A = this chain, B = another copy of it.
């Protein structure tokens, strides 16, 4: 059994409409890896397309990444059944990874969006948070974090958009936005 890195893992949330939520989670992972932490990043509603992190994580030890998505934004108020299934698969893996206690940090990227769209159950996520092994740090990202998640978290940062170049008509750029 590996030594636990944290005596008490907390629950961090990065939400809001501004840029930097997923990047902050990956940056936290990068910092932790420098301390020989084991990190697992599970991405909800992502994957199925090409993005920069997929390549860079290969360089890093002790970092696992699993992405569950079909490479498109979900805008419907009633998400397609196929996407709901993928969100469930992501959450199932999250439960397994968190409860195994084998990882010091588990990132649930964009889980707030899956919750906001009611693709997964808020009660299940709250239960996961409340029953997690004590030494595991959780990082939840995504806009529109539900109130119950904010209440259950120890640390919450809102990324607030003050100025954004998309308003100037600049499209997403490879290597910067994805």
What residues of chain A have their CB less than 8 Å away from a CB belonging to chain B?
5-6, 8, 10, 12, 14, 16, 18-28, 30-35, 37, 51-57, 59-61, 104, 137, 150, 153-165, 168, 170, 173-176, 178
Assembly CA distance A12 to B163 (angstroms): 9
Q: When chains A and B are docked, how far (Å) is the Cα of A83 from the Cα of B96?
A: 48
Q: Considering the chains assembled together, what is the distance between the CA atoms of A135 and B20 in angstroms? A: 21
Contact pick for A175, options B6, B51, B150, B162, CB 8 Å = B6
B34 x A30 contact (CB < 8 A): no
A142 nearest CB across to chain B (Å): 14
A175 with B10: CB separation less than 8 A: no
Q: Is the CB of A157 within 8 A of B157?
A: no
Contact A162 B170 (CB under 8 A): no
**A34 and B19 contacting across the interface, CB-CB below 8 Å:** no
Identify whether the interface residues of A are mostly helix, strand, loop, or mixed: mixed
Chain B positions within 8 Å of A14 at CB level: 20
A14–B178 CA distance with the chains assembled, in angstroms: 18
In the complex, 18 of the A-B residue pairs with CB atoms within 8 angstroms, ordered by the A residue number, are A6-B176, A10-B165, A19-B157, A20-B20, A23-B30, A26-B31, A27-B30, A30-B53, A30-B56, A31-B51, A31-B56, A32-B176, A33-B59, A34-B52, A35-B175, A150-B162, A154-B163, A156-B162
CB contact between A33 and one of B16, B56, B163, B173 (< 8 Å): that residue: B56
* Contact between A35 and B20, CB atoms less than 8 A apart: no
Tell me which of A21, A26, A30, A165 has the highest count of chain B C-beta atoms within 10 A of its own C-beta.
A30
Kindly list chain B residues whose C-beta atoms are within 8 Å of the C-beta of A26: 23, 26-27, 30-31
Using Cβ atoms and an 8 Å threshold, which residues of chain B touch A18? 157-159
